[in-house]
Chains A and B, each alone.
Chain A
Amino acid sequence: MMKVVHDFKYVFQMQLFRGSGHLLFFAIIQVFMSLGIVIGFTYLFDQPDTQSILYLATGAPTFILIITGLVILPQQIGNAKTEGYVDFTRTWPVNRSVILGADSVIWLLITIPGLAIASLFAHLLFQPGYDISWTVIPALLLIALTSIGVGYGFSYLLPSDLSLALSQVIAFGALMFSPLNFPMERLPEWLQAIHTVLPLYSMAEVMRASMAASTFTATTGNYITLIVWCILGYGGAMYLLSKK
Chain B
Amino acid sequence: MLLDVQSITKVYAGKAKSKITANDNLTFSMKEGEIFGLLGHNGAGKTTLVNQILGLIKPTSGKITLLGKSILDSPEYARQICSVQPQSQLPLGHLTPAQAVSIMGKMRSGNKHEVKKRMNMLFESLDMGEWANTEGIKLSGGIRRLTAFCMAVISPGRLVILDEPTNDVDPIRRRYLWDMIRKLTDDGTSVILVTHNVIEAEKAVDRVAILNKGKFIAQGTPSEVKSSVNNQIRVEINLATDSKDITIPGWSISSHHQGARTIFSVNPDFVPATIEWARAKIQEGKIMDYSLSPTTLEDVYVELTKGKEATAV
Residues on A lying within 8 angstroms of B by beta carbon are 6-7, 10-11, 13-14, 17-22, 80, 83-85, 87-88, 90-95, 244
Q: Evaluate contact between A83 and B108: CB separation under 8 angstroms.
A: no
Determine the residue in chain B with the shortest Cβ distance to A14: B103
State in angstroms the CA–CA spacing of A170 and B8 once bound together.
44
CB neighbours (8 Å) of A6 from chain B are: 109
Q: Evaluate contact between A92 and B94: CB separation under 8 angstroms.
A: no
Q: Which of B129-174 contact A (CB under 8 A)?
A: 135-137, 157
Q: Does B124 contact A (CB under 8 A)?
A: no
Q: Does B268 contact A (CB under 8 A)?
A: no
Question: Would you call the interface of chain B mostly helix, strand, loop, or mixed?
Answer: loop
5 pairs of residues in contact across A and B, judged by CB atoms under 8 Å: A10-B106, A14-B103, A84-B86, A87-B56, A87-B88
Determine the residue in chain A with the shortest Cβ distance to B55: A244
Q: A20's contact among B91, B94, B104, by CB below 8 Å, is which?
A: B94
CB neighbours (8 Å) of B56 from chain A are: 87, 90-91, 244
Q: Evaluate contact between B106 and A18: CB separation under 8 angstroms.
A: no
Q: A83's contact among B57, B79, B88, B135, by CB below 8 Å, is which?
A: B88
Q: Evaluate contact between B86 and A87: CB separation under 8 angstroms.
A: yes
Q: Evaluate contact between B86 and A83: CB separation under 8 angstroms.
A: no
Determine the residue in chain A with the shortest Cβ distance to B161: A91
Q: Evaluate contact between B95 and A14: CB separation under 8 angstroms.
A: yes
State in angstroms the CA–CA spacing of A94 and B100 once bound together.
16
Q: Does B84 contact A (CB under 8 A)?
A: yes
State in angstroms the CA–CA spacing of A11 and B80 once bound together.
15
State in angstroms the CA–CA spacing of A21 and B104 once bound together.
20
Nearest chain A CB to B77 CB, angstrom units: 9
Q: Evaluate contact between B93 and A19: CB separation under 8 angstroms.
A: yes
8 closest cross-chain pairs (CB), A and B: A10-B107, A84-B88, A18-B93, A83-B91, A244-B58, A93-B80, A20-B94, A93-B79
Query: Known: A14-B100, A92-B79, A244-B57. Contact between A80 and B107, CB under 8 A?
Result: no
Residue of A7, A19, A85 most packed against chain B (CB within 10 A):
A85
Q: Evaluate contact between A18 and B94: CB separation under 8 angstroms.
A: yes
Question: Would you call the interface of chain A mostly helix, strand, loop, or mixed?
Answer: helix
Q: Evaluate contact between A91 and B94: CB separation under 8 angstroms.
A: no
Q: Evaluate contact between A7 and B107: CB separation under 8 angstroms.
A: yes
Q: Evaluate contact between B93 and A22: CB separation under 8 angstroms.
A: yes
Nearest chain B CB to A173 CB, angstrom units: 30
CB neighbours (8 Å) of A83 from chain B are: 88, 91
Q: Evaluate contact between A93 and B107: CB separation under 8 angstroms.
A: yes
Q: Evaluate contact between A21 and B55: CB separation under 8 angstroms.
A: no
CB neighbours (8 Å) of A10 from chain B are: 103-104, 106-107
Q: Which of B37-80 contact A (CB under 8 A)?
A: 54-58, 75-76, 79-80
Determine the residue in chain B with the shortest Cβ distance to A10: B107
CB neighbours (8 Å) of A21 from chain B are: 93-94, 135, 137
Residue of B103, B108, B137 most packed against chain A (CB within 10 A):
B103
State in angstroms the CA–CA spacing of A10 and B91 once bound together.
18
Query: Known: A95-B76, A244-B57, A244-B58. Contact between A13 and B88, CB under 8 A?
Result: no
Q: Evaluate contact between A17 and B95: CB separation under 8 angstroms.
A: yes
Query: Known: A10-B107, A91-B79, A91-B86. Contact between A17 and B99, CB under 8 A?
Result: yes
CB neighbours (8 Å) of B96 from chain A are: 17
Nearest chain B CB to A240 CB, angstrom units: 13
Nearest chain A CB to B283 CB, angstrom units: 57
Q: Evaluate contact between A14 and B107: CB separation under 8 angstroms.
A: yes
Q: Does B180 contact A (CB under 8 A)?
A: no
State in angstroms the CA–CA spacing of A10 and B100 once bound together.
10
Determine the residue in chain B with the shortest Cβ distance to A84: B88
Q: Evaluate contact between A94 and B107: CB separation under 8 angstroms.
A: yes
Residue of B84, B99, B107 most packed against chain A (CB within 10 A):
B107
State in angstroms the CA–CA spacing of A84 and B104 once bound together.
17
Nearest chain B CB to A17 CB, angstrom units: 5
Residue of B84, B91, B99 most packed against chain A (CB within 10 A):
B91
